[in-house]
Amino acid sequence: MATLSVGEPQEMEVDRKGESEESGDDETRRKSINGKVDANQPHTTVKEESPVEMDTITLDPEEEDVDLVHCRIGKIEGLGVLRKAKTLSLRQNLIKTIENLEMLVTLKELDLYDNQICKLENLQTLKELDQLDVSFNLLRKVEGLECLTGLKKLFLLHNKISHIANLDHLTGLEMLELGSNRIRLIENLDRLSSLTSLFLGTNKITQLQHLEGLHNLTVLSIQSNRITKMEGLQGLVNLKELYLSHNGIEVIEGLENNKKLTTLDIAANRVKKIENISHLTDLQEFWMNDNQLENWSDLDELKSSNALETVYLERNPLQKDPQYRRKIMLALPTVRQIDATFIRF
């Protein structure tokens, strides 16, 4: 495999909350707790690095999985010999422009995570591509993807994108990650009927809307936005996981058609009562920590969920009760984990 690590890795101060598990590294996911970055983690600062020339890197023409992470590459060039490459990782380099990839027609996965790219361009010959990651860059627009009709997973986490646009042709797209951008409106997703996972955490979205065409969606994450009302979800009949933590929601509602839900996360909102979810009999995880729940009788709303294994209710007024854990166990006997602690039998 073609690999090279030159000098110290680039360190950047970034906010990486609200991202999907498939984009980013394990350290990123450990730092993100319920959509919120751990404040105790040390901050890092940008370190200046000089780019290296591609001709200092030896490439194997027979290699299918090419890993060029942390190589301080400043320009994509000289990769034409990789005629058999199926995956190419150029993570954490100093690349500013996507270029000189036209010969890599066999490429299935392209990873440009954590570079300095300002524009999506020069990808038109990569028609076999089914996964593209350009997270942690400097993109302002979604563009230049018209020829990638076979794309199944698109990661654009932590850029400067303000509008969801130019995705109509990606009708086979199954996963879309647009977390940590500057998006204010959910729009232009009507044609993405194959989409199963949508991640929009840490944006500036104020309303759940324009989701009715996403009938195959199973995972929806809109954590850390500005949503105050649960609505617009009636068409998502196959939804299994819904993440709405760190918003301004006051009432649990609008889930009448979402009967397949197994995970419901409404942590860190302004909810005072558990209601309107007794029909969610497949529910396995219920996250409602950091709200305003006061009445133990509200737990009755969860008793019909025979598969319920995990509940998070910490930092609600209920937790002040010295019998907090015992009362949850008695009310919900199927539960095996309360907050971050497993129940010992």
pLDDT tens readout for residues 10-42: 333 333 334 566 655 544 443 333 444 444 444
Query: DSSP labels for 88-150?
Result: EE--SS------S-TT-TT--EEE--SS------S-TT-TT--EEE--SS---S--S-TT-TT
pLDDT tens readout for residues 270-302: 999 999 999 999 999 999 999 999 999 999 999
Domain that holds residue 93: 51-138
Question: Is the residue at 181 inside a domain?
Answer: no
User: Using CA atoms, how far apart are residues 310 and 290, in angstroms rounded to an integer?
Assistant: 16
User: Using CA atoms, how far apart are residues 20 and 161, in angstroms rounded to an integer?
Assistant: 17
CB distance 144 to 119 below 8 Å:
yes
Does residue 74 have a pLDDT over 90?
Answer: yes
Question: Is the residue at 114 inside a domain?
Answer: yes
Question: Is the residue at 58 inside a domain?
Answer: yes
Percent of the chain with pLDDT over 90: 81
Does residue 319 have a pLDDT over 80?
Answer: yes
Question: Is the residue at 264 inside a domain?
Answer: no
Q: How high does pLDDT run on average in the chain?
A: 89
Question: Is the residue at 337 inside a domain?
Answer: no
The CA R_g of the chain, rounded to the nearest whole Å, is: 22
Q: What was the pLDDT predicted at 270?
A: 98
- Give the contacts of 48 (CB within 8 A, at least 6 positions apart): none
Question: Is the residue at 173 inside a domain?
Answer: no
CB distance 178 to 199 below 8 Å:
yes
Average pLDDT (90-113) is 96
* Largest interatomic CA distance in the chain: 69
Question: Is the residue at 324 inside a domain?
Answer: no
User: Using CA atoms, how far apart are residues 301 and 280, in angstroms rounded to an integer?
Assistant: 9
Strands (E), the chain: 32-33, 36-37, 65-67, 87-89, 109-111, 131-133, 153-155, 175-177, 197-199, 219-221, 241-243, 263-265, 285-287, 310-312, 337-338, 341-342
Burial class (CB in 10 A: 0-12, 13-18, 19+), 38: exposed
94: CATH: 3.80.10.10
Residue scoring higher pLDDT (164 or 34): 164
Question: Is the residue at 128 inside a domain?
Answer: yes
Q: What was the pLDDT predicted at 75?
A: 94
pLDDT tens readout for residues 200-257: 999 999 999 999 999 999 999 999 999 999 999 999 999 999 999 999 999 999 999 9
Q: How many domains does the chain have?
A: 1
Does residue 91 have a pLDDT over 80?
Answer: yes
